[in-house]
């Protein structure tokens, strides 16, 4: 064990108190101690049935619908389509595409999560018509919900405009992602920015920096899920962005009765 002094005789009370106060001042002014924090598992409690988000990532789009909600669970429906297969000429709104049966979709699933416990309870594939083992499915969302995010100070946020503009960084406006609601782009919406590290879970994301952006307002549009998520590593960089949001959407797919085993897992 490392010691600050070579012998107990060399210590004195005033020195010990000075060191304690010194380190307290350092830690309390460190960004991780001074910044506000949040968990997405708390934010997502504000979700309402009928809310939907469309994300773009890895050359594909995913429509995520809040299908149902209880005090302890959320039922989420997800439909994924490769970017090149989306029939842009036929649909100007994601809502219409979804209600028309999501032509071109390659995956259509419904799952139940317990946000507070970060647990996936059941997972049903409409594509195959079967319930799948919750243990074998992707747990990206459950892990994301459990991460503690720290607010990024405004002085450290990304800014609009490059270095060639000549304007000092401090006076350039902070960058905010765009919001599209029911197919209509909205500008001037303020966001808060948050950062954390992905846990060392032996996945390709382990130890990477994660930035998210959340709208400050949660009345006109869903604001409990990141409208922009950026993952940064030494040699990798990935983004997930929301391309549309809306409310009042309802599923067109029936959900078969959950097998007894899944009911027991859900408590």
More confident residue, 261 or 34: 34
Confidence band for 194, pLDDT divided at 50, 70 and 90: very high
Q: What confidence score (pLDDT) does residue 219 get?
A: 67
| Distance from C-alpha of 231 to C-alpha of 229, rounded to nearest angstrom | 7
What does the H/E/C string look like for the chain? CCCCCCCHHHCCHHHHHHHHHHHHHHHHCCHHHHCCEEEHHHHHHHCCCCCEEEEEECCEEEEEEEEEECCCCEEEEEEEEEHHHCCCCCCCCHHHHHHCCCCCCCEEEEEEEEHHHCEEEEEEECCCCEEECHHHCCCHHHHHHCCEEEECCHHHCCECCCHHHCCCHHHCCECCCCEEECCEEECCCCEEEEEEECCCCCCCCCCCEEEEEEECCCCCCCCCCCCEEEEECCCCEEEEEEEEEECCCCCCCCCCCCCHHHHHHCC
pLDDT of residue 155: 87
Per-residue pLDDT of 27-70, as tens digits, reads 444 444 556 899 999 999 999 999 999 999 889 999 999 999 99
Does 253 reside within a domain?
A: no
Residue 257 lies in a domain: no
Please, which pLDDT band fits residue 206 given cuts at 50, 70 and 90? confident
Model confidence at 252: pLDDT above 60? yes
In a domain, 7, yes or no: no
Query: Span 92-108, mean pLDDT?
Result: 94
Q: Residue 4 above 50 pLDDT?
A: no
By residue range, what is the domain housing residue 156? 37-246
pLDDT tens profile 68-83? 999 999 999 999 999 9
267 falls in which pLDDT band (50, 70, 90)?
A: very low
106 is a domain residue:
yes
Which pLDDT belongs to residue 19? 53
What confidence tens digit (pLDDT) does each residue in 208-223 have? 999 999 998 766 778 8
Q: How many domains does the chain have?
A: 1
Note whether residue 26 is domain-resident: no
pLDDT of residue 169: 58
Asked if residue 28 is part of any domain, the answer here is no
Closest CA to 215 of 186, 239, 236, 195: 186
**Amino acid 260: pLDDT:** 56
Is 184 part of any domain?
Answer: yes
pLDDT at 118 over 80: yes
- Mean pLDDT (the chain) is 81
Asked if residue 129 belongs to a domain, the reply is: yes
Give the pLDDT confidence score for residue 138 in this predicted structure.
57
Q: Which residue has the higher pLDDT, 262 or 85?
A: 85
């Amino acid at each position: 064990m490392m010691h600050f002094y070579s012998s107990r005789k060399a210590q004195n009370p005033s020195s010990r108190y000075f060191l304690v106060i010194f380190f307290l001042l350092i830690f309390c002014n460190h960004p991780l101690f001074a910044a506000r924090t949040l968990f997405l598992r708390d934010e997502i409690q504000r979700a309402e049935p009928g809310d939907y988000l469309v994300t773009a990532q890895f050359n594909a789009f995913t429509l995520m619908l809040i299908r149902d909600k209880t005090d302890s669970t959320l039922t989420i429906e997800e439909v994924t389509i490769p970017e090149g297969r989306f029939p842009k000429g036929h649909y100007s709104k994601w809502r219409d595409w979804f209600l028309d049966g999501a032509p071109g979709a390659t995956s259509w699933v419904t799952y139940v999560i317990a946000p507070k416990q970060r647990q996936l309870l059941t997972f049903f594939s409409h594509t195959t018509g079967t319930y799948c083992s919750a243990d074998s499915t992707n747990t990206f969302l459950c892990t994301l919900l459990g991460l503690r995010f720290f607010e990024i100070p405004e002085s450290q946020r990304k800014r609009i405009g490059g270095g060639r503009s000549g304007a000092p960084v401090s006076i350039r406006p902070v960058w905010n992602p765009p919001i599209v609601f029911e197919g209509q782009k909205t500008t001037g919406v303020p966001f808060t920015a948050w950062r954390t590290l992905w846990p060392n879970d032996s996945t390709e994301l382990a130890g990477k920096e994660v930035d998210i952006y959340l709208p400050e307002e949660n009345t006109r549009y869903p604001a409990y899920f990141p409208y922009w998520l950026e993952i940064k590593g030494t040699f990798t960089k990935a983004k997930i962005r929301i391309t549309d949001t809306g409310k009042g959407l309802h599923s067109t797919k029936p959900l078969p009765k959950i097998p007894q085993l899944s009911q027991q897992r859900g408590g």
